[in-house]
Amino acid sequence: MSAPAPAAVLFDMDGTLVDTEVLWWETAHEVAAGLGHRLTDADAPEVVGRAVADTAAHLIAVTG
Protein backbone atom coordinates (compact mmCIF):
# COMPACT_ATOMS: atom_id res chain seq x y z
CA MET A 1 0.00 0.00 0.00
CA SER A 2 1.41 3.42 -0.90
CA ALA A 3 0.67 6.82 0.54
CA PRO A 4 -1.09 9.39 -1.63
CA ALA A 5 1.11 11.97 -3.30
CA PRO A 6 1.19 15.33 -1.51
CA ALA A 7 -0.80 18.15 -3.04
CA ALA A 8 2.22 20.44 -2.80
CA VAL A 9 5.79 20.54 -1.56
CA LEU A 10 7.36 23.67 -0.12
CA PHE A 11 11.10 24.28 0.00
CA ASP A 12 12.38 27.33 1.87
CA MET A 13 15.75 28.38 0.57
CA ASP A 14 17.13 30.60 3.32
CA GLY A 15 15.81 34.11 2.93
CA THR A 16 12.66 33.20 1.02
CA LEU A 17 10.35 32.84 4.01
CA VAL A 18 12.72 33.13 6.95
CA ASP A 19 16.04 34.95 6.92
CA THR A 20 18.20 33.12 9.42
CA GLU A 21 21.51 34.78 8.52
CA VAL A 22 20.96 37.55 11.07
CA LEU A 23 20.14 34.99 13.77
CA TRP A 24 23.18 32.91 12.80
CA TRP A 25 25.47 35.96 12.99
CA GLU A 26 24.08 36.94 16.41
CA THR A 27 24.51 33.39 17.68
CA ALA A 28 28.09 33.22 16.41
CA HIS A 29 28.77 36.52 18.22
CA GLU A 30 27.44 35.06 21.47
CA VAL A 31 29.45 31.86 21.10
CA ALA A 32 32.65 33.75 20.30
CA ALA A 33 32.07 36.14 23.21
CA GLY A 34 31.59 33.19 25.53
CA LEU A 35 35.01 31.98 24.38
CA GLY A 36 36.58 35.39 24.99
CA HIS A 37 36.67 36.64 21.38
CA ARG A 38 34.81 39.47 19.67
CA LEU A 39 33.77 38.82 16.07
CA THR A 40 34.12 41.69 13.61
CA ASP A 41 32.74 42.30 10.13
CA ALA A 42 35.90 40.64 8.80
CA ASP A 43 34.67 37.36 10.30
CA ALA A 44 31.31 37.48 8.52
CA PRO A 45 32.40 35.67 5.31
CA GLU A 46 33.68 32.80 7.45
CA VAL A 47 30.49 32.57 9.52
CA VAL A 48 27.40 33.67 7.58
CA GLY A 49 26.06 31.43 4.84
CA ARG A 50 28.50 28.64 5.66
CA ALA A 51 28.02 25.09 6.83
CA VAL A 52 27.98 24.55 10.59
CA ALA A 53 31.32 22.71 10.37
CA ASP A 54 32.91 25.69 8.58
CA THR A 55 31.63 28.15 11.18
CA ALA A 56 32.77 25.91 14.03
CA ALA A 57 36.23 25.58 12.47
CA HIS A 58 36.50 29.37 12.18
CA LEU A 59 35.38 29.90 15.78
CA ILE A 60 37.94 27.35 16.97
CA ALA A 61 40.66 29.01 14.89
CA VAL A 62 39.99 32.51 16.22
CA THR A 63 39.42 31.54 19.84
CA GLY A 64 42.22 29.02 20.21
pLDDT tens digits along 12-58: 777 788 888 888 899 999 999 999 999 999 999 999 888 889 999 99
Residue 8 has pLDDT above 90, yes or no: yes
Query: Max alpha carbon distance in the chain (Å)?
Result: 57
Q: Which residues contact 13 (CB under 8 A, 6 or more apart)?
A: none
Q: Which residues contact 16 (CB under 8 A, 6 or more apart)?
A: none
- Give, in order, the Cα–Cα distances in Å from 55 to each of 3, 5, 7, 46: 39, 37, 37, 6
- Alpha-carbon distance of 38 to 3, in angstroms, equals 51
Query: pTM for the full model?
Result: 0.68
Domain residues of the chain, as ranges?
A: 21-63
Looking at residue 11, what is its pLDDT? Answer: 82
What is the average per-residue pLDDT within 3-19?
Answer: 85
